[in-house]
Amino acid sequence: MNPLLPIKITKMSGAGNTFALIDARDSTGWAMVEKTLNMSRPDFARLVCDKVLGVATDGFLLIENGDQGFDFNWDFYNNDGSTAEMCGNAARCAARFCYEKLSPEHANIRFKTGAGLVTAQVLGDGRIRVKMPEAKFVNPKISLLTHFGSSEVFALVNTGVPHLVQKLITMDDAANMKDLARECRSHKDLGAAGANVTYYAIESENKIRAVTFERGVEDYTLACGTGAVAAAMVYAKEKNLSRVEVQMPGGAMEVQFIEGDPCPLMTGGAVFVGEFQYNLEVVK
């Protein structure tokens, strides 16, 4: 008996934010394969994303048949098996994956996500523009009392998922603030879901640097699409800008705000890393 998973896992990177993707549409027979795994999707997500027994990714994404007018539905998991309503970098990767591997009829792809409709446009040369879910300020100035004895002030925004955003003098400061980010990420004042924590610093008039401590990963990641939009949103409001370049550790993204439209545009790259056939002996 062949121990290899009959459906390939594709590893992709969006500005260094990595994902494992599976074509889980009805035509691939994924439903039958999934039954043989005898594992829940969160458990399988943890295994696939594992740095030792998996493909070492930040997230796991299953692309399913679209319904209700959507081209595709997606089912997204963080590498700890938890779910997230939306992931901007995953959206770019999913768009290129669907366009090049699943052959949709057009380069404008409509995804049904936990945050609602997300539309992605394949621009070519590995660049993807994503129309994000509605972005909004939940609380422009929220103060969180920490165990460090400080009261930390953030802007709490939702760009598909919640982000606490704080401006720094220099991004070098972020290295010493990871423990603070970890505490604030699950602060009791935010409820059970908590929030991602995104720090940013000004690079130039239309450019900032940012890094996000992500829920589910529980660490800084090389890039976070919703975090880039969150930081750009806070900075754009302060400086009255319509376009902001966001440099994250893994790569750059451009965020554009269109007057009268609550859904920002986020543009960046998405690349294929490789394809893998998982050895099911690991599952047993």
Contact 78, 214 (CB under 8 A): yes
Q: What is the pLDDT of residue 284?
A: 67
pLDDT tens across the length of the chain (284 residues)? 578 889 999 999 999 999 999 999 999 999 999 998 889 999 999 999 999 999 999 999 999 999 999 999 999 999 999 998 889 999 999 999 999 999 777 899 999 999 899 999 999 999 999 999 999 999 999 999 998 778 999 999 999 999 999 999 999 999 999 999 999 999 999 998 899 999 999 999 999 999 999 998 999 999 999 999 999 999 999 999 999 999 999 999 999 999 999 999 999 999 999 999 988 888 76
**Cα distances (Å, whole numbers) of residue 42 to 28, 112, 162, 263:** 20, 19, 21, 29
Q: What is the pLDDT of residue 132?
A: 92
pTM attached to this predicted model:
0.90
Tell the CATH topology of 9-131+270-282. Answer: Diaminopimelate Epimerase; Chain A, domain 1 (3.10.310)
d(CA 274, CA 9): 8
Would you name the residues annotated as active-site residues? 87, 224
Q: Where in the chain is the domain with CATH 3.10.310.10?
A: 9-131+270-282, 136-262
Count of C-beta atoms within a 10 Å radius of residue 66: 18
Q: What is the pLDDT of residue 261?
A: 96
Which residue carries 């302060």 as its tokens?
Answer: 238
Centroid of chain to Cα 86:
6
DSSP-derived 3-state class of residue 133: coil
Angle between helix 41-49 and 30-37 (nearest 10): 90
Q: What is the pLDDT of residue 103?
A: 77
Class level of CATH domain 136-262: alpha beta
